[in-house]
A and B are shown apart, each in its own frame.
Chain A
Amino acid sequence: MTLWWSTLCVAAPLLASVLLFLRPKRTAGIALVAVTLVLIGALGLAVVLHDSGPQFIAIGGWGAPLGIGWRIDGLTVTMLLMAGIVGWPVTIYALDYFGGAAGGRHFWPLWMLLLTALCALFLSNDLFNWYVTLELLGLSAVALVTLSGKQAALDAAQRYLYTGLVGSLFYLLGVALIYNAYGVLDLAVLREVTEPTLAVWVALGLMAVGLLVKSALFPLHFWLPAAHGSAPAPVSAILSALVVKGAFYILLRLWFDLVPAALPGAVSVILGALGAGAIIWGSLQAIRATRLKMLVAYSTVAQLGYLALFFPLSGAGEWGNAALTGVVYFMVAHACAKGAMFLAAGNLQRAAGHDNLVSLAPTAQALPVSMFAFAIAGVSIMGLPPSGGFIAKWSLLSAAIGSGGWIWVVVMIAGGLLSAGYIFRVLSLSFSESGAEPKPELAPVAKSSEWASLLLASIALLLGLNALPVLDLLSIGLPRIG
């Protein structure tokens, strides 16, 4: 059954992508079916995992070292569920957003291709397969950014494309060095044979740089705000919620299976310092932003910084496990909350025809459901209880406190306060006086789009109210630290 469920996660969106490319008129229904199938496949894998533990699959009977192996453990399944759960409301939202518009013809096949690449990435456990899925993910993501056809979007897309390709090539150069040294690509085999030699350090360094560029860790985030801010709303949600997590997922896998224990502590401290830089810098930029979508995009830069705080905390003995749970939970909670924020911001932008914060107050007051969704998502982003973001930050905080990493505690608390700063800037739109000026003409926004954003925000909240099942699933087959 494992093979069927995992194949479903990749085959369903791939088939949908081809069908939607050949028959653009059919659109939407197919995409919704495919996303549902991904969700079913992920749930099926969760059941298998619960009953019989982590699995390795040799596709077509060709195992490592010649074939390509898939690995299914708690981390894989949590990520697949994340993709399905975020993908569903985004698809509902996009049905109305693109409707019959020309952009939709390209959106649907590309979105399905992106989902295929993402699911394949989460299932893979092979250095070269990850390169291929990263490129598929990157190219379809850039193509999605261009959909609006505006000059700003094209410029952002080009920068995103070039940066992404350089990131992939750095990663591939590292893979080539590893292959040169060991002649193996499968991670399960590699973890047995790698030793802390110079070649391995150089290779890991190159791969890490490539992946950090792709996951937009400060100061390599320069491509992100423009790309995420100028894409159509459902695309921004997909990019911020899911695409950046793909590269970070590979980084996590490498960290556990390939990085020798002899790693100098300075490396993880530097990574943590970059994360701290991201939190401070991204939040300050979000507070200063003049456009709503840029604010949300800079918030992504800041939130991705928390992911990097995991590295110094993972070495904290028995507290390492809390840090690992925290970082994975953070990825999921951020995906739901940030997806919801971009969808809500998209509703405001569509209604008003712009997203300049200064003149958005009347629009915000006309769309209470979207603003409510933004507020709930904001609770999770700020890390307040009872939300998924709270559970994630609490785990990271307790790991930092338990291991005496006070500097990280200060950074996390400061980050929480700063995020409150930019989120309340948006929420205050609901309560500010519109004055006597005439009400602007608002374009209609479909109910389904408003409710889609609220649905995703509610999931971010539910992750906090009902954390145990997710934490149990996540811990299956997770590497034990300390």
Chain B
Amino acid sequence: MMVADLYALVGVVLFVMGLSALILRSRDLQRILGLNIMGTGVFMLLVTSAHGDGQAADPVPHAMVLTGIVVAVSATAFALALSLARERHK
């Protein structure tokens, strides 16, 4: 159980780190990275809940994380495209 707690803790720390980058940084790339780090934090926490205490792991969180990654990839691609469009405009 200790390992699972550590995972959860790291997940929360990553979430906060990503959020602070998003708020404090001004460059688009840094903020998009911040968003991704936030997402990774949530994924860590979800993966932790798959922990089955010695029994088979719960597959549902894996499905959720996979879906979450798909969403994160598309959102990142879109954010990058938007950032490029703004650069070109300047």
B9 interface residue, CB < 8 Å from A? no
Q: Within 8 Å of chain A (Cβ to Cβ): is B26? A: no
Contact of B49 among A132, A172, A180 (CB under 8 A): A180
- By a CB distance below 8 angstroms, the chain A residues around B60 are 66, 179, 183, 185
In the bound complex, what is the Cα–Cα distance between A185 and B15 (angstroms)? 22
Q: Report the minimum CB–CB distance from B88 to chain A (whole Å).
A: 10
10 tightest CB-CB pairs across the interface, nearest first?
A: A180-B49, A176-B45, A176-B46, A135-B71, A154-B86, A169-B38, A172-B42, A173-B42, A151-B89, A179-B49
Q: Tell me the count of chain B residues lying within 8 A, CB to CB, of chain A.
A: 31
Within 8 A of A (CB), among B71-90: 71, 74-75, 78-79, 82-83, 85-86, 89
Interface membership of chain B positions 1-41, coded 1 if the CB is closer than 8 angstroms to chain A and 0 otherwise: 00000001000000100010010000010010001001101
Contacts A165-B35, A169-B15 known; 4 new A-B pairs at CB < 8 A:
A139-B75, A166-B19, A173-B45, A185-B60
B64 at interface by CB-CB < 8 Å: yes
Q: Chain A: interface secondary structure?
A: helix
Is B35 within 8 A of A146, CB to CB?
A: no
CB-CB nearest in chain A for B51: A180
Contacts of B58 in A (CB 8 A): 183
Q: Which of A131, A132, A180 has its CB near the most chain B CB atoms (within 10 A)? A: A180
Say yes or no: B74 contacts A139, CB within 8 Å: yes
Q: Tell whether, in the assembled complex, residue A165 and residue B75 are in contact, meaning their CB atoms are under 8 Å apart.
A: yes
Q: Kindly state the interface size class of chain A when it binds its partner.
A: 20 to 34
Q: Among the interface residues B60, B82, B85, which one has the most CB atoms of the partner chain A within 10 A?
A: B82
Interface 0/1 of A26-44, CB less than 8 Å to B: 0000000000000000000
Chain A's closest residue to B75 (CB) is A165
| A contact residues vs B (CB 8 Å cutoff) | 66, 128, 131-132, 135, 139, 142-143, 146, 149, 151, 154-155, 157-158, 161-162, 165-166, 169, 172-173, 176-177, 179-180, 183, 185
Q: Which residues of B contact A151 (CB under 8 A)?
A: 86, 89
Known contacts A132-B71, A166-B19, A176-B45; A155/B35 CB under 8 A: no
Task: Report the separation of the CA atoms of residues A165 and B41 in the bound assembly, to the nearest whole angstrom.
Answer: 14
Which of A146, A151, A176, A180: most chain B Cβ within 10 A?
A176
Contact B45 A166 (CB under 8 A): no
Once bound together, how far apart are the Cα atoms of A149 and B84, in whole Å?
12
A33–B64 CA distance with the chains assembled, in angstroms: 34
Verify B15–A154 contact, CB threshold 8 A. no
CB distance from A464 to the nearest CB of B (A): 40
> Would you call B82 and A157 a contact (CB within 8 A)?
yes
Q: Is the CB of A176 within 8 A of B42?
A: yes
B49 touches A183 (CB 8 A): yes
A169-B39, A169-B42, A180-B48 are known contacts. Are A161 and B15 too (CB-CB below 8 A)? no
